[in-house]
Amino acid sequence: MKFFHISDLHLGKRLKAFSLIEDQQDILIKIAELAKEHKPDAVLIAGDVFDKPTPSIEAIQLLDRFLVWLNELGIVVFMISGNHDSAERVSFAADLLKNSNVHIVPSYNGKIEPIRFFDDYGDVFIWMLPYLRPAIVRKHFEDREISSYNDALSAVISNMQTDASVRNVLIAHQFITGGETSDEEIYVGNSENIDSSVFADFDYVALGHLHRPQYIERESLRYCGSPLKYSLSEANHDKTVTVVDMADKIETPKISLLPLNPIHDVREIRGTYAEIMNRKNYRGTNIDDFVHIVLTDEDEEFDAMAKLRAVYPNLLDLVYDNTRTQTEFSLETTNPAEGKMPLELLGEFYENQNGIPMSEEQLTYAENLFTEIFKEIIL
């Protein structure tokens, strides 16, 4: 069995003020073209299909086109929801779509059934887990102590009754201890950590959640990474499609990476204003990339953002690194967010982004949402 492992599409995401829908369509076309060339039996999509639980129309339409492209190539699709998704929305029409060889895991109901895949070497069982939190799992295992993500996944997997005589592939969207994160993945301490030993019974674990391609302890316990760069912290990532070739049960799966080249890169440019605006320095470069510019001038350039955007239209942000900013940084002894309640921080962020304060209706909605979140954490 040969399959593509992809994840963290984040369809509908914006990078600062810029929509990425064009970039996402381009990269999905490139993945489909690679699938046409390399002919995998299946594509495994390991969660965070959308960037928001309520995705935009454009994002939904783009996923629809991608699934159609793969279906026209005769490729089976296995897809799970991630922490950015609504499992219920992602699994809409799942029963209908499986007749077109598009298998989507529904919300967790206490039981996981594998999907049987067959090749020249026999059975391959594909197990799919939606993103799981302890509160979701706890109500299905009242006789077990489940206080952490590790407890939750241990309970779920021990209840799956895998057959060790056949090849087992798991698709999951969780944080495994030892994974390297970026700005896009935020955790509260070590609360999401899951030990790699939990996945010992699987011949390959197709993970989503972390945006840098990497494996944990063994090559077959692997994050494929996101297909695009979604923050400056990912500027040095090499984005790829993970290709997995599985032979018989005895052989270790063979893994290779196919490079993905976006129409717009994400990168940092550093230097003085004169250096960065010198045509000799940017001639021949992709000035349409999403760029973060660091100016090293001691004197700040008037209206620098607007002037720089005349050359770099997709300028994300502009900062100074000079004597003044370095001094200010060294003098900072307190966190400006320290001591503030989450609702207050959200209100400040909203006003900073939109130029107006949150309405009473928005504040009430946010307050109720925080209440539910904290209930779940406490439980």
- Measured CA to CA, the distance from residue 199 to residue 220 in angstroms comes to 10
Render pLDDT for 253-266 as a digit per residue (tens, 0 to 9).
Answer: 999 999 999 999 99
Q: Look at residue 187 in the predicted model and tell me its pLDDT.
A: 45
Report angle CA 164, 94, 199 to the nearest 5 degrees: 25
Q: Look at residue 325 in the predicted model and tell me its pLDDT.
A: 83
Give the N- to C-terminal CA distance of the chain in Å, as an integer: 42
The three state secondary structure string of 3-36 is: EEEECCCCECCEECCEECHHHHHHHHHHHHHHHH
- pTM score of the predicted model: 0.83
The neighbouring-strand residues paired with 119 are: 122
- Four-residue CA torsion sign, 81, 87, 88, 94: positive
Residues of the chain with pLDDT under 50: 187-190, 333, 378-379
- Measured CA to CA, the distance from residue 379 to residue 364 in angstroms comes to 23
- Could you state, in order of their start, the residue ranges of all structural domains in the chain? 2-259, 266-331, 342-378
Give Cβ neighbours of residue 227 (< 8 Å, ≥ 6 apart).
6, 8, 9, 27, 28, 31, 239, 241, 260
Q: Look at residue 184 in the predicted model and tell me its pLDDT.
A: 55
When the candidates are 3.40.50.1820, 3.60.21.10, 3.40.630.30, 3.30.930.20, the CATH number that belongs to 2-259 is 3.60.21.10
Q: Is 153 helix (H, G, I), strand (E, B) or coil?
A: helix
What tokens does 219 get?
Answer: 């090559």
The neighbouring-strand residues paired with 208 are: 173
